[in-house]
């Protein structure tokens, strides 16, 4: 995540949230996550540090942080919602369908074209998401499968 371990106190104060034990751990785990964990995975990591924390608390905290604009919620093909820090430059995602890995990328060109399209239709963009589901390129040459 983009916010650091030290930002946690600041983040809570800033948004009028009480700095509770569970929140501290949840945000710490978020801060250390390089991937895009879903609520259940996050809960798994959190309870490794602090076994008492309920899944419901994780959900409530995630919802809260999203609402405050700290996190962004994504819905990649599978059912669950996945989260990442919102305070970074906007980017889109490549999802490797074979491994589930998520790769971030950014294309100013595409961003620009989107603006243009929205404008042409008489709209302003609120948000947008571009997900490219991919699989490793097969080198062809020699025998195929």
Task: Give the interface with DNA as residue ranges (CB under 7 A).
Answer: 12, 17-23, 38-40, 52-57, 59-61, 63, 78-81
- Residue ranges in 100-119 that form contacts with a second copy under rule CB under 8 A: 103, 105, 107, 109-110, 113-114, 117-119
- Residue ranges in 41-80 that form contacts with a second copy under rule CB under 8 A: 75, 77
**C-alpha–C-alpha distance, residues 73 and 51, integer Å:** 25
145 binds a second copy (CB under 8 A): no
Minimum CB distance to DNA, residue 138 (Å): 29
**C-alpha–C-alpha distance, residues 77 and 111, integer Å:** 22
**What is the three-class DSSP state of 114?**
helix
Q: How far out from the chain centre does Cα 90 lie? A: 11
DSSP letter at 8 equals H
Q: Which two tokens stand for residue 15?
A: 């948004």
Interacting residues toward a second copy by CB under 8 A: 75, 77, 94, 96-97, 103, 105, 107, 109-110, 113-114, 117-119, 121-138
């Amino acid at each position: 995540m983009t916010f650091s371990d030290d930002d946690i106190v600041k983040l809570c104060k800033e948004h009028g949230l009480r700095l509770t034990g569970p929140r501290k751990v949840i945000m710490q785990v978020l801060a250390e996550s390089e991937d895009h964990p879903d609520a259940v995975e996050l809960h798994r990591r959190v309870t490794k540090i602090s076994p008492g924390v309920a899944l419901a608390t994780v959900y409530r905290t995630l919802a809260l942080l999203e609402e405050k604009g700290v996190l962004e919620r994504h819905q990649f093909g599978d059912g669950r919602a996945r989260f990442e820090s919102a305070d970074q430059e906007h980017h889109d995602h490549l999802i490797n369908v074979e491994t589930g890995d998520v790769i971030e990328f950014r294309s100013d060109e595409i961003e620009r074209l989107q603006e243009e399209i929205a404008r042409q239709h008489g709209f302003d963009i609120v948000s947008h998401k571009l997900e490219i589901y991919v699989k490793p390129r097969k080198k062809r040459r020699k025998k195929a499968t």
